[in-house]
Amino acid sequence: MKQKIFRFLADLRFAIFILLLISFCSIIGTVIQQDQSIETYKLNYPLTNQLFGFFSWDLILKFGFDHIYRTWWFFSLILVFGISLITCTYLQQIPSLKMARRCQFFRTSKPFNRLKISTILTRFNFNKIIFRLKNNQYSLFQQKSIIYCYKGLIGRIAPIIVHLSMILILVGTLIGSLCGFKAQEIIPKTETFHIQNVFNNGQLAVLPPISSRINDFWITYTKQKTVGQFYSDISILDSIGNEINRKTSFVNTPLIHEGVYYYQTDWNLIGLRFQDFNNKIIEYPLVNFLNTKNKIWLTWVSNDLNVTKGIIAIIDNLEGYCSIYNDKGIFLGNLELNEKITNEQEVTLVEILSSTGLQIKNDPGIPIIYTGFFFLMLSTLISYITYSQIWLIKENQKIFVGGNTTRAMFEFELEFFRFIK
C-alpha cells in the first residue's frame, strides 16, 4: 500500500494535475484583488453581478479568495506538489541516473535493430574505432570484443536540478507567505516614524523594532513639466536615535536594511507655511479636492483681522510656487518661495510641506526563491548537454556499431559517421 501511494505521488500526471490547480488558483488571485477591505469586495463583486457567474463577495470571503496565497488550502496544494517532486526525484530520477552510470553491454547483435542509428562494418580496424571514441570524450567499458561507451552524463542531472529548483521556489514562497509583511506609510518630511500601517502579513510575521526618519523629499520634473522621479532621503535609526543606515530611495531603487525594503511609491502635499509682518509662522493645511490622476491641492489663506476675507492658494507640484486667487476666483499670479504678497496684510511664502509615500516590505523567502530560479536556469543550460551511448560488438569479421542520444539527433549522426568513416 505504501509503495502504491508513493508511486501515485511520483506519477507525472498527478504532478501536472496539482500544478494546474495551483496555476488556476493563482489566476483567481490575479483576477480578484487581494487584501482589500470588505466594502471593496461588496462594491466590486455584488450578489446581483457575480464574477464568472458565481464569484460574489460572500463566496470570496468564505473561501479566502481575498487572500488566496495565505490560505490553508493553497499551502496544502504547494505541500502536496512539493512531496510529489521529492518522491519523483527519489523513485524515478535518481534511479535513472544510477542506471545511466552502469555498464549496459550488448551480448548479441539483435538489440542493434532497436537503436536509433546502427551499421555493420566489414573492413575496419577495431582498435582504431576505440581510439576515435576516446578522442571524442567517450567513457569506454570493454569486455574482450564487447564495448559500451557514453558521454554527456551530466545532462542526466538536469531533471534532478529542475526538481530541486522548484522545491526551493515552493519553500521560499511558503516562508514569504508565513513570515513576510507589507506596510504602507505616508510620512511628512523631517518626521520620524515606526512601521504601523500593515495591510498584509503572514501568520508568523514579526515587525522589526526599528524607527526611520525622512530627512528630505523632492521631485524632479521633465521639460514637459511632468513628474520625472520621486526621491526620499531615508535614515534608519537605532533604539536611541543614532543613524545606522542612510540612502536616497527612488522608484525601483529601494533602501534595504536587514531584509526590509523601503520602496518609493507615492507623495502628497500637506500644507503651506507663511510668515506675517510680525515674523510669526502660520501653517495652512492643503486639501486635495480633485479625485483624478492629476493631483491638485488648495487652501484658504485668511486675513488675521477678518477670517472670512483672504486668498485661495492652489498648488499641483513641488517646483517651489503656488497659484493665488482672490475670494472671487480671479487669478492674481504665482507666488514663489520667499516671495511676499499683500492680503490687507503682508505675508511671505516660506515653505511647502510635503510627505512621501513608502511601501515597506519584508519577504525572507526571496533569497531562497532567487536561488531556486538560479538552479532552474542552470538546469536549462545543462539539459542542452546531450547524453549519447554507443555499443560495439565484434563477431568474426564484422563489427556491429550502434548508438542512441537524448537530443540533437542530426549532430549525433554526423559524429557517428565521422568516427566510422
Q: What is the pLDDT of residues 325-348, one digit of tens each?
A: 888 888 888 888 888 887 666 788
Q: What is the pLDDT of residues 209-218, one digit of tens each?
A: 889 999 999 9
pLDDT bin (cut points 50, 70, 90) of residue 414 is: confident
Picking from 322, 317, 354, 356, the residue whose alpha carbon sits closest to that of residue 338 is 322
Residue 219, C-beta contacts closer than 8 angstroms, at least 6 positions apart: 227, 228, 229, 230, 231, 267, 317, 318
Res 233: pLDDT: 94
Cell numbers at 38, concatenated: 470588505
In angstroms, the CA 326 to CA 324 distance is 7
pLDDT bin (cut points 50, 70, 90) of residue 375 is: very high
Asked whether the predicted pLDDT for residue 380 surpasses 70, the reply is yes
Cell numbers at 105, concatenated: 553491454
Res 113: pLDDT: 81
Phi and psi based region of residue 265 (left: phi greater than 0; alpha: psi -120 to 50; beta: remaining): alpha
Res 235: pLDDT: 94
pLDDT bin (cut points 50, 70, 90) of residue 263 is: very high
Res 306: pLDDT: 63
Query: Domain residue spans in the chain?
Result: 2-91, 103-152+386-420, 181-362
CB 164 within 8 A of CB 375: yes
In angstroms, the CA 373 to CA 187 distance is 36
- Which residue spans within 105-226 are E strands per DSSP? 117-121, 139-143, 146-151, 181-188, 192-194, 198-201, 211-221
Q: What is the pLDDT of residues 59-117, one digit of tens each?
A: 888 888 888 888 889 889 999 998 998 898 888 888 887 877 777 888 888 888 888 88
- 3-state SS, residue 19: helix
What average pLDDT does range 233-239 have in this prediction?
91
Asked whether the predicted pLDDT for residue 12 surpasses 80, the reply is yes
Res 215: pLDDT: 93
Res 54: pLDDT: 66
Res 388: pLDDT: 87
Asked whether the predicted pLDDT for residue 291 surpasses 70, the reply is no
Residue 302, C-beta contacts closer than 8 angstroms, at least 6 positions apart: 308, 309, 310
* CATH architecture of the region 103-152+386-420: 2-Layer Sandwich (3.30)
Phi, psi torsion values for 191, nearest 5 degrees: -90, 155
pLDDT bin (cut points 50, 70, 90) of residue 304 is: low
Asked whether the predicted pLDDT for residue 247 surpasses 90, the reply is yes
Q: What is the pTM of this model?
A: 0.71
Mean pLDDT of the chain: 85
Res 223: pLDDT: 81
What average pLDDT does range 362-382 have in this prediction?
92
Asked whether the predicted pLDDT for residue 293 surpasses 70, the reply is no
CB 63 within 8 A of CB 54: no
Res 406: pLDDT: 82
Res 374: pLDDT: 95
What average pLDDT does range 303-329 have in this prediction?
82
Res 88: pLDDT: 87
Q: Look at 150-159, 272-281, 305-314 and tell me which has the smallest mean pLDDT.
A: 305-314
pLDDT bin (cut points 50, 70, 90) of residue 51 is: low
Q: What is the pLDDT of residues 163-184, one digit of tens each?
A: 999 999 999 988 988 898 999 9
pLDDT bin (cut points 50, 70, 90) of residue 392 is: confident
Res 290: pLDDT: 63
